[in-house]
Amino acid sequence: MNKQSWTAADLPVLHGRTALVTGANSGVGLATATALAHAGAHVVLGVRDTARGRVAAATMSGSTEVRRLDLADLASVRAFAQSWTGRLDLLINNAGVAGGRGAVTEDGFDLQFGTNHLGHFTLTNLLLPHLSDRVVTLASGAHRAGDIFFEDLALRTRRYSLAEAYGQSKLANLLFTLELERRLRQSGSAVRSLASHPGYSATNLGIRGRSRPLVATVNLAGRLLAQTSQEGAVPTLFAATQDLPGASYVGPDGRWELHGSPSLVGRSARASDPVLAQRLWEASEELTGVRFGLDLGRSAADR
Q: pLDDT of 252-271, one tens digit each?
A: 987 887 888 999 999 999 99
User: Of residues 160, 166, 200, 249, which has the active-site annotation?
Assistant: 166
CATH of 11-289, one of 3.40.50.720, 3.40.640.10, 3.40.190.10, 3.40.47.10: 3.40.50.720
Strand partners, 19: 43, 90
Mean pLDDT of 192-198: 97
Q: What is the DSSP string of 2-22?
A: PPPSS-GGGPPP-TT-EEEEE
What is the domain partition of the chain in residue ranges? 11-289
Q: Mind listing the pLDDT tens digit for each residue in 34-77?
A: 999 999 999 999 999 999 999 999 999 999 999 999 999 999 99
Q: What is the DSSP string of 190-258?
A: --EEEEE---SB----EEES--HHHHHHHHHHHHHHPBPHHHHTHHHHHHHHS---TT-EEEE-SGGGS
Mean pLDDT of 234-249: 98
In angstroms, rounded to a whole number, what is the distance separating the alpha carbons of residues 200 and 140? 9
Least confident of 144-153, 165-174, 213-222, 235-244: 213-222
pLDDT confidence band for 210 (50 / 70 / 90): very low
What's the whole-number average pLDDT of the chain?
89
Mean pLDDT of 74-86: 97
Q: Give 113's DSSP letter.
A: I
How would you classify the pairing of strands 64-68 and 88-93? unpaired
166 is catalytic: yes
Position 31 pLDDT exceeds 80: yes
pLDDT confidence band for 162 (50 / 70 / 90): confident
pLDDT of residue 303: 38
Between 218 and 173, the more confident residue is 173
Mean pLDDT of 168-181: 97
**Max intra-chain CA distance, the chain:** 53
Least confident of 60-64, 161-165, 204-208: 204-208
Position 217 pLDDT exceeds 60: no
Between 112 and 158, the more confident residue is 112
Position 208 pLDDT exceeds 70: no
Between 102 and 5, the more confident residue is 5
SS3 99: strand
pLDDT of residue 211: 41
Position 103 pLDDT exceeds 80: yes
